[in-house]
Amino acid sequence: MSGADRRRLVLVLARYGAASAAPPGVDPAAFAQACLADTYEVAADLVDAASGLVGPDGLDELLWPGSARFDEQDLPALLRACADVADEVVLVPADVPDLPGLVLAKQLKVLHRADVAVAPERGGPGCVALGLRLPVAAWVPLDRLDLDVDPRPLLAATAPTPGLVEVTPDWHRLRGAAAVHRLDPDLEGWEETRALLAGRPAR
């Protein structure tokens, strides 16, 4: 299947929220919502890929027209549902509001030759994006994958050949009180989070 024919989907998972990284004086729920909105905007801006959200009711107002929407569910069930609408999926936590689109584009680029792509969390124990070719290969231990845990050791132990797992550029996540200082003010985007931190109401 050529690159032009592959159906690509980038999903932001709301359960990996940034509430724990809200600085003093900022409501954690509002901070998590702003980060979710900005992370989704990064996904929605990608060319040649559909975008969507996974999470509870109340997220629909964030969606661009034509975007995918999945209820909260375990990873195997989610990926089975994704296989009906996509050939490749990239899962992204909702706590990366300043994520460069290039990080996700690199994931999509390698999935034509790899079963799994991992973008590690910079300075942390998880990953910032996890890409999978669909339907998921039988060797991938779906029931043990979690975006809060770096899957590279597990995947290295289960992959039939090393080339089936690609590692792509890393990025930081907002997962603690000090993490907000990692946001890059010179990067375009993350308007909702930026406005909230500046004391302006998010849209």
Q: How far is CA 153 from CA 34, 79, 141, in A?
A: 32, 21, 12
Residue positions counted in the chain: 203
- The reply to whether 202 falls in a domain is no
pLDDT at 193: 96
Residue 1 — very low, low, confident or very high, per pLDDT cuts 50/70/90?
very low
- The reply to whether 3 falls in a domain is no
- The reply to whether 2 falls in a domain is no
Distance CA 15, CA 148 (A): 11
Task: Residue 170: give its domain's CATH number.
Answer: 3.90.550.10
**Domain around 55:** 8-197
Number of domains the chain contains: 1
Long-range contacts of 74-82 (CB under 8 A, 24+ apart): 74/143, 75/142, 75/143, 75/145, 76/142, 76/143, 78/11, 78/54, 79/132, 79/134, 79/135, 79/136, 79/142, 80/135, 82/9, 82/11, 82/134
139-193 pLDDT, tens digit each = 999 999 999 999 999 999 999 999 999 999 999 999 988 899 999 888 889 999 9
pLDDT at 178: 86
pLDDT at 152: 98
Distance CA 47, CA 32 (A): 26
- The reply to whether 203 falls in a domain is no
pLDDT at 189: 92
84-135 pLDDT, tens digit each = 999 999 999 999 999 999 999 999 999 999 999 999 999 999 999 999 999 9
pLDDT at 186: 87
CA angle 122, 191, 13 (to 5 degrees): 55
- The reply to whether 176 falls in a domain is yes
31-62 pLDDT, tens digit each = 999 999 999 999 999 999 999 999 988 888 89
Question: pTM of the prediction?
Answer: 0.94
Pick the closest to residue 140 from 72, 93, 79, 193 (CA basis): 79
- Calculate what percentage of the chain has a pLDDT beyond 90: 86
- The reply to whether 161 falls in a domain is yes
